[in-house]
């Protein structure tokens, strides 16, 4: 019974010692795997683990029975590596194991699985913290597009194109529109259309600054409006001039453009050619509000009527003298701007009652 206990104790010590010797080698396998990859061609010459292990068991037989001290331990408690007591073949094998990894795939995979994954709560050193570059957060709300330029490729390209974002953001909902657009998918096709119409490259930036809303228009609708202007005998160069000088022109539907042209033709009594010449020179007449135009036409018509009435009264009196080289010269400003009382007493040399009676005869 005592002999059996001693054998059990002996084998237990041998097993613990073998495990202690095996642990450093496994750690070396994990650390040297990346460095030893180019040497895989020579690894086939190594003996397998099954061949090496019996040598190591023989090296541990000098361990005293009933003791768990490692080989090489001294009485004073000092410790020397157990590999120093191995036979020469084992030492050679141990030397190779220090430079070459074990190809046991199961052990390698177990070692890799033991590597902990990175965590957001992992502590880092001050040096690593200083090297971290934190991207600025995108503001949820802002009163200026400048805060979004560094985060938006679309805005950055529009700035390169010459668009003044400080002016765009003053227009109602224009800033929100630009933030929802993709340059390649939404904006590029509009730029190509404008260039095809005749807008010069250096005019694209100022054009979009004044009218960013065209970027949300359908290209087919824009082409239909250009086709309408061509049907009214406007040439390509004339359309390019009108679009460049009146950026909002192509936002008007065909029906609105037709109504505007008809308004100026009928109100002014112009022919088609004169109406066309007018809107080529002043294309903003087609995009502006009509109320001020109507008021101006009534001031103009009323002044024209006043000039006609006063001229007829002066002719009746024989005082219609408009030659500055002759005496009693009457200028156009006197004929138009003077009140009726002053005109009658100083220019016509008559009373206001005489002028009123004359007007009733017309």
pLDDT tens digits for the chain (362 residues)?
555 555 555 656 555 655 555 544 444 444 444 444 443 343 344 444 444 444 444 444 444 333 333 444 444 444 444 444 444 544 455 554 445 445 454 444 444 444 455 555 667 777 776 776 655 555 556 668 888 888 889 999 999 999 999 999 999 999 889 989 999 999 999 999 999 999 999 999 999 999 999 999 999 999 999 999 999 999 999 999 999 999 999 999 999 999 999 988 888 788 889 999 999 999 998 998 888 877 777 777 777 888 899 999 999 999 999 998 888 899 888 888 899 999 999 999 999 999 999 999 98
Chain-centroid distance of CA 297 in Å reads 47
Nearest to residue 204, comparing CAs of 188, 220, 218?
188
Quote the CA–CA distance of 22 and 30 in Å, as a whole number.
13
Tokens of 289: 């509000």
Triad 264, 266, 269: Cα angle to 5°:
95
203 HSE (CA, 13 A, CB side): 14
Indicate whether this model's pTM tops 0.75: no
Quote the CA–CA distance of 79 and 295 in Å, as a whole number.
111
pLDDT value for 146: 81
Tokens of 23: 């642990």
Quote the CA–CA distance of 302 and 2 in Å, as a whole number.
138
Tokens of 231: 């049907």
Triad 184, 190, 193: Cα angle to 5°:
125
Residue 296 near residue 280 (C-beta atoms within 8 A):
no
Chain-centroid distance of CA 252 in Å reads 28
Chain-centroid distance of CA 130 in Å reads 29
Residue 279 near residue 264 (C-beta atoms within 8 A):
yes
Quote the CA–CA distance of 19 and 70 in Å, as a whole number.
11
Provide the 10 A C-beta neighbour count for residue 216: 15
Domains of the chain: 2-113 (no CATH), 183-289 (1.25.70.10), 293-360 (no CATH)
Sign for the pseudo-dihedral over CA of 103, 104, 109, 112? negative
pLDDT value for 151: 84
Write the CA distances from 353 to 191, 306, 323, 357, 359, integer angstroms.
66, 16, 28, 6, 10
pLDDT value for 266: 87
- One-letter-per-residue 3-state SS of the chain: CHHHHHHHHHHHHHHHHHHHHHHHHHHHHHHHCCCCHHHHHHHHHCCCHHHHHHHHHHHCCCCCCCCCCCCCCCCCCCCCCHHHHCCHHHHHHHHHHHHCCCCCHHHHHHHHHCCCCCCCCCCCCHHHHHHCCCCCCCCCCCCCHHHHHHHCHHHHHHHHHCCCHHHHCCCCCHHHHHHCCCHHHHHHHHHHHHHHHCCCHHHHHHHHHHCHHHHHCCHHHHHHHHHHHHHCCCCHHHHHHHHHHCCCHHHCCHHHHHHHHHHHHHHHCCCHHHHHHHHHHCHHHCCCCHHHHHHHHHHHHHHHHHHHHHHHHHHHHCCCCCCCCCCCCCCHHHHHHCCHHHHHHHHHCCCHHHHHHHHHCC
Residue 178 near residue 155 (C-beta atoms within 8 A):
yes
């Amino acid at each position: 019974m005592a002999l059996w206990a001693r054998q059990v104790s002996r084998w237990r010590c041998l097993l613990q010692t073998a495990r202690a010797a095996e642990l450093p080698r496994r750690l070396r396998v994990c650390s040297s795997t990346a460095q030893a990859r180019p040497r895989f061609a020579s690894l086939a010459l190594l003996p397998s683990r099954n061949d090496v292990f019996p040598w190591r068991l023989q090296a541990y037989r000098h361990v005293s029975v009933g003791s768990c001290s490692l080989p090489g331990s001294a009485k004073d408690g000092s410790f020397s590596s157990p590999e120093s007591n191995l036979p020469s073949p084992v030492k050679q094998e141990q030397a190779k194991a220090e430079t070459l990894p074990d190809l046991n795939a199961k052990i390698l995979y177990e070692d890799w699985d033991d590597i902990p994954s990175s965590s957001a709560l992992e502590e880092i050193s001050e040096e690593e913290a200083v090297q971290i570059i934190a991207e600025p957060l995108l503001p949820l709300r802002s009163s200026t597009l400048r805060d979004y330029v560094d985060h938006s490729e679309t805005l950055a390209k529009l700035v390169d194109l010459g668009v003044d974002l400080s002016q765009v953001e003053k227009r109602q909902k224009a800033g929100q529109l630009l933030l929802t657009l993709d340059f390649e998918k939404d904006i590029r096709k509009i730029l190509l259309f404008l260039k095809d119409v005749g807008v010069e490259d250096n005019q694209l930036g100022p054009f979009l600054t004044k009218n960013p809303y065209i970027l949300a228009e359908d290209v087919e609708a824009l082409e239909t409006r250009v086709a309408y202007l061509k049907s009214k005998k406007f040439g390509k160069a004339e359309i390019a001039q009108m679009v460049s000088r009146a950026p909002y022109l192509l936002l008007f539907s065909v029906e609105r453009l037709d109504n505007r042209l008809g308004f100026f033709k009928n109100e002014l009594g112009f022919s088609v050619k004169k109406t066309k010449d007018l809107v080529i020179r002043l294309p903003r007449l087609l995009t502006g509000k009509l109320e001020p135009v109507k008021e101006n036409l009534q001031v103009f018509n009323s002044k024209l009527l006043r000039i006609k009435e006063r001229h007829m009264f002066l002719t009746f009196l024989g005082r219609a003298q408009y030659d500055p080289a002759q005496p009693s010269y009457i200028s156009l400003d006197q004929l138009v701007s003077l009140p009726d009382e002053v005109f009658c007493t100083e220019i016509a040399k008559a009373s206001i009652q005489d002028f009123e009676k004359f007007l009733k005869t017309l």
